Amino acid sequence: MFGLEAIIAHDGLGISVIGISIVFVSLVLLSFAVSQIHKLIELWDKKNTSYQHLKKPQQKDQKTPSVSDLAIPQDVQRASRQFKLLIEWMGEPFPLPKLLDLSEKCGLSRPHSTINELLKCELIIPDENGYFIWNTQVEEKRSST
């Protein structure tokens, strides 16, 4: 027995149909899995941020750090002492460009960005006339915490 007869006699057609089906289903499943990979990657990317989001409220419960601690980086806290001395020497209200100029002459490191940090922390605040003053309230709050 040869050829088609032999195939039919040994259920060759059925086996080949099953084989084709298995391969086809596998390919469909594989393509579906591949199509979902981007979601997995997204989840992986977001994993850290979501974890931090979940973690934050817990940390707040454990300890409630003061606003000034959060707002003022340590290096800026150190620099603020030097800047305060310069401001005391200049007198208040003081012009911001003069503070910048003096701090450069005194060789303070990165005076521009430090002044910006002091402004952001509101340790230096504008008066209503184009000059600036040292905010003792924020400083006192910071030292009391």
Partner 1 sequence: MSTDIQTLKSLDLFADLNFGELEQIAPLMHLMKVAEGEVLTRKGEPACTFFIILSGNFMLSFNEERSFTLHNKGNIIGLSTVVIPFRYTGTAVALTDGLVLLMQGQEFLRLIQSNSALGDKIMRKINKIVSERMPYMTGAWGKGGINCLALKQ
- Binding residues for partner 1, rule: CB under 8 A, are 95-98, 100, 110, 112-113, 115-116, 119-120, 126-132
Task: Name the minimum Å distance from CB 68 to partner 1.
Answer: 17
Cα separation, 98 vs 102, in Å, equals 6
Nearer to partner 1, 3 or 107 (CB): 107
The least CB distance from residue 101 to partner 1, in Å, is 9
Q: In terms of CB distance, is 45 or 104 closer to partner 1?
A: 104
Query: What are the beta bridge partners of residue 125?
Result: 133
Secondary structure of 51-86 in the HEC alphabet? HHHHHHHHHHHHCCCCHHHHHCCHHHHHHHHHHHHH
Spatial distance between the Cα atoms of 37 and 28, rounded to a whole number of angstroms: 15
Among residues 55 and 112, whose Cβ is nearest to partner 1? Answer: 112
Least Å distance, CB 131 to partner 1, is 7
